[in-house]
Amino acid sequence: MPAPSIRCERALRKEPGSYDETHADTDLCAGRRRGYGPPRTSAAALVGNIEGTDVPMGPNLPTYAENLENALASNLDFWVDHDAELQERFNAWLAN
**In this predicted model, what pLDDT tens digit does every residue of 38-48 receive, in sequence order?**
777 777 788 88
Q: What is the mean pLDDT of the chain?
A: 74
User: Alpha carbon 8 to chain centroid distance?
Assistant: 14
**In this predicted model, what pLDDT tens digit does every residue of 43-81 receive, in sequence order?**
778 888 888 889 888 888 888 888 888 877 788 899 899
* Assessment of whether the complete model's pTM goes beyond 0.85: no
**In this predicted model, what pLDDT tens digit does every residue of 27-38 receive, in sequence order?**
555 555 555 677
Contacts of 55 (CB under 8 A, 6+ apart): 49
